[in-house]
Structure 1
Amino acid sequence: MTLSAPETQPDAPGKSGLRGHPVYLARITLTACLIFWVFVFSDSGWGPLLVPLSTQLHISLTTTGLLYVIWSTGYLPGALVGGAMLDRYGPRRVLLGAALIVLCGMLCIYVGLLLPQLVPLGALLVIAGLAGIGGGVIDASTNGVISATYANRRGMALNLFNLLYPLGGVLVLLVDAGLLRLFHNDPRPPFLFTICFIVVAILSLPGIPATYRIGPHESKASSSNDEPVPRSSSLVGILVPVIIVMMLTSGISSSVRAWTPAYLHVAFAQAPAIAAALSSITWALSTLSRLGAAILILRIGSWKLVMLGILITLAGLVAMAFSPNVIIATLAIAMTSIGLSPIFATCLAIGSERAGRSPGSVAGILLFASGISTVFCGWFFGFLLNTIGPLWAVGFCFTFVMLGGLMALRLRPV
């Protein structure tokens, strides 16, 4: 699949030659990265803000965690339809609509924090769910765009692209930690920062094409240019093993990422600002792991990279369970994040290679499946952390990752 120039633009001499031109590809990639960060900033921002939001709204931490759970619930239909909409309507219109949905949601939550007496908690939960729909569309669509643009090096491209998640997470954690310290744990300035970035990202959308089409050299997995595009039902059958692995691992990855500040707060009594700053260490190391994965996948292949990530994750979770202090716990969480980080993007690449076509639909189906896991794992991790204790939350993660590793054995290429 190759991206084409917007249909609304008049043809110019040599216009068709722009497809594949480095400047043209760079413009598409930059815009996709900025829009993807709209999702990253909104999704990652919940972690350091859960404790301040609990204080601001005068509710329990478990109840505050429902905001992230509802956001993740809204993500599910967004991811499922986002990939299909990308294949049908093209990236520019889909990404513009999704970014506006997230922007409106964040603005409404910000107003709710400014005037808490006028906006009940139930309304904030509904708004978070609607914003999550936009986030799901962005995640599926941007991954589909990158998968289509770099079909010949899909595994490396998706790992590099999803490196933006921990990179953006580091930036959000550092900015939020600074704003929380500067404004005495007030969650409103971090929300305002996210809103301003969304506006900037929307202004970059003219850099992405309005449509794309299936080209004759879309993928090595495509044996014929005339082969019909698989329907969603047939795609699901092809992707079942990949779906199960993603459901058992991606939800744990999201939960560890989102609940790290709260985990350090509950388990080691760290202040919210310090916990957010310590969490940025895990994000930074996770970013480096994705960069290493993008290089390593060319040498050892996708399946071996997934299995290596699972082994590292299990070792990190064992270290988390027996950490005697906050420093060792932070390093153990970082090790867990290093193992989990490349699994998600590599499974996306494996799924796209198995299907051979419709990268938007493939990304949507896999992200929908991982989103289901994220909703359950995010809620259950928070429930265990705040009721039974941190050790039970870590044990839950270990069990799911172990099952994911056993299922990943079925992905081994013949």
Structure 2
Amino acid sequence: MYNDESQLYFDFDDYSDGESVCQEDLNFCAVQAIKNASAILDRFENLELLSVLEHENKIKKIDGHSSFVFRAVDSVTDKKVVLKCLDPLFSQRIAGISDIDTDIDYEKLFEWEDKILFELKNNRHTPSVIGRLSRAPVLIEAGGKTFSHTLSYIAIENLNIELKKAFFDNSSPSLLKYAKRLRLFCQILNAVCSVHGGGVFHRDLKPSNLMAKSGRQKDGVVLIDFASSCAEKNIREKIRLYPEKWHGTEGYASPEILCGLPPENELASAQDMYSLGCMLYELFGCRTFKQKLYETNPGYIETLENCRVYPNDGNSFAERLEVFNSYLDEFSRSVRPVALGDEADVPSFIKQEIDLVIQRFTSFDWRKRPCKEDFPEIRRKLFCLSKVMENTHLRSEFKRRKSLHKKRLIEKSAVRLVSAMPKTEA
């Protein structure tokens, strides 16, 4: 099958000179190759591409994704599964083709995620693994040539509820809707606490990495995409594979990461806490937490630079962390906490309580953020707030006061308009 001279080793360097093939074309060729690979078709049927934009034989992946994700049917069990396939461009790590970070070994990250999911196989807040990391030969036809490539893929259970739809949604706001979102956040806390209890820290928590499954309501939120995760020492020694470089999402990155410290050891948990605070804000707001943070603190980038830690600031992680903590003591008080403001249409006393939780999770000083031992208290507080917002009398009274307030604003506006009109002589 691979003896023909035209079947070359998969190498996109052929497109680096002369007439180039665009990223979307390469994506389309890779996806078609995966769908037609005999090793894939022997086990899976009806592959449906997810998490991309498709148009006229061109495929544009969502920014930052190093994998193609398919929904398929397992021909053995006849159940729907999800196939996560490493993009050949990322597995080859070829510079000059796209903005791929060539310092990251994506094959190693893919293998790490497979082993972490297996380590957490009994955790109901992580996806069940249907098929461990496998590799299959594929033929990719692009630019009139045929390339051979070994594809890495993982099969996990099909999770059909995307919880990211609950974020950044201010359409038809109501207290009942916000109460449900607080309960959702409590379930997110449960999932994170459960994974931390298993010795694993996600380090890339964001709305798109939160899923659920019909019929598994009792299990609640399921965390996906553990490629950026880290684990406690005993798990690392057991797996004997550990990605050295963090590659999470900058919009949910904690200040210590942006200041040059890797989210390891005690900072791994602190990173997850910060991401949780960002998401709690985004459940009530229509903008990202990062946008509001930079708006609230015009000098935020300068503060980050003042706290930046460099490799020569110490001979070990502990020494550099000590230097960073000294910077926090000096500069962290200059960062103003983010508040919901008018973006969340809830009573002010509830808004103040939610603001306090957000500010605790997103504290610039990692030492002031909660730990998993604080979760029961935080859950109780948020659950009580959700019960208050579900109260029929409160919702009716809040609606009446909003209507009255709107009427008064209209009346005041009309009075100002009349007073501003020129008076005519009789």
TM-score scaled by length of structure 1: 0.25
Please say which structure displays the higher CA radius of gyration.
Answer: 2
Identify the structure with the greater strand proportion.
2
Pick 1 or 2: higher relative contact order, CA cutoff 8 A, min separation 6.
Answer: 1
TM-score scaled by length of structure 2: 0.25
